Structure 1
Amino acid sequence: MDHPQPGDKVKIHYTCTLNDGSVCDSTHRAGPLELKLGQGEILREIEQRLLRMEFGESARVTLTPDLAYGQYRHELVTEIDQKEFRDRGIQPKIGLTLDINPPAGESMVARITEVDDTKVRLDANHPLAGQTLQYDLQLVSKVL
């Protein structure tokens, strides 16, 4: 059997779908993803599954939120007055991502999820937090 080892550089194809069947990410248009196993470049459970596969093999892996991007945390959502954005010369738009520095903690990336006349809602959860993800994997080849 020809399995990859930690440290091997490999090419993989994957499609990630949500519970409703919608595709949230795929390599099939852009070509296979190249990565070095054992470097934490992908989700741990996906990497562990790839290490048990043979080159050319396909597999399906289902990840609960705890094994993927975590549970959705409501405390990572906040509303800020529009004035703060105007004072900094930022035009808030849904989907815009910002680096924020909370008073007690490390900086994090938050995205704008709502904008109205007075407030802007920021969400620092990963966009896939709280989601069960299904990955269809193919271990394409070893990169020499």
Structure 2
Amino acid sequence: MKQAQTGDNVEVHYKGTLPDGQLFDSSEGREPLNFTLGSGQVIKGFDDGVTGMEIGDKKTIHIPNAEAYGPINEEMIINFERAQIPADVPLEIGGTLNMHQDGNGQVIPVVVCEVTEEYVILDANHPLAGQDLIFELELVAIK
């Protein structure tokens, strides 16, 4: 039977959890994830985990954060003067805001970490940065 390899278009059902068992994503109730192996469409550890699987194979993979969304980057934690943020913008700890990068129009989601009268600390790291990930995989198709 054919094994999935770099360049193959594959369909995968998955369930992603953190080491404490918290579910962060799943294809349950949806179409399987469709991507091309080795194309960079998914994180490296996921790509590596699917490579070599055959249609119908199921397995669980553990991905260290270095092969997922990387470690937390302290440079992505930003301290803003409170006065720089409009008063009508809700600033709840754990809430998400969208920042617009100058020049290219790209929008970056940030999480509000701390709010005082003088400053606001925002975290622009990916929500799963610094986390090791666990995926239950099932290879559905190789095209």
Bin of the TM-score, shorter chain as denominator length: 0.7 to 0.9
Q: Equivalents in 1 of 2:75, 2:6: separation in Å?
A: 37
- Please say if residues 55 and 141 of structure 1, whose CA atoms lie closer than 8 Å, have aligned partners that are also in contact: yes
Q: CA deviation at 1:110?
A: 4.6
Asked whether 1:113 is paired with 2:93, we answer no
Task: Tell me the SS of whatever aligns to 2:131.
Answer: coil
Q: CA deviation at 1:38?
A: 2.2
Q: Which position in structure 1 is the counterpart of 2:89? A: 91
Q: Equivalents in 1 of 2:89, 2:26: separation in Å?
A: 31
Q: Equivalents in 2 of 1:44, 1:112: separation in Å?
A: 25
Q: Which position in structure 2 is the counterpart of 1:140? A: 140
- Please say if residues 5 and 37 of structure 1, whose CA atoms lie closer than 8 Å, have aligned partners that are also in contact: yes
Q: Equivalents in 2 of 1:90, 1:133: separation in Å?
A: 37
Q: Equivalents in 1 of 2:2, 2:88: separation in Å?
A: 53
Q: Equivalents in 2 of 1:117, 1:74: separation in Å?
A: 20
- Please say if residues 6 and 38 of structure 1, whose CA atoms lie closer than 8 Å, have aligned partners that are also in contact: yes
Task: Tell me the SS of whatever aligns to 1:21.
Answer: coil
Q: CA deviation at 1:12?
A: 0.4
TM-score, length-normalised on structure 1? 0.81
**Which digits, 9 at most, give the CA deviation of each residue in 1:84-135, with x for residues without a partner?**
122xx8724421232345xxxxx88350323635232211211111111101
Task: Tell me the SS of whatever aligns to 1:52.
Answer: coil
Q: CA deviation at 1:30?
A: 1.9
Structure 1 runs not aligned, ≥5 long: 102-106
- Please say if residues 63 and 134 of structure 1, whose CA atoms lie closer than 8 Å, have aligned partners that are also in contact: yes
Q: Equivalents in 2 of 1:120, 1:3: separation in Å?
A: 50
- Please say if residues 96 and 109 of structure 2, whose CA atoms lie closer than 8 Å, have aligned partners that are also in contact: no
Task: Tell me the SS of whatever aligns to 2:85.
Answer: helix
TM-score, length-normalised on structure 2? 0.82
RMSD of equivalent CA atoms: 2.2
Q: Equivalents in 2 of 1:46, 1:56: separation in Å?
A: 17
Asked whether 1:15 is paired with 2:22, we answer no
Matched ranges for 1:121-136 at <5 A: 121-136=121-136
Q: CA deviation at 1:48?
A: 2.0
Q: Residue type matched to 1:116 in 2?
A: V
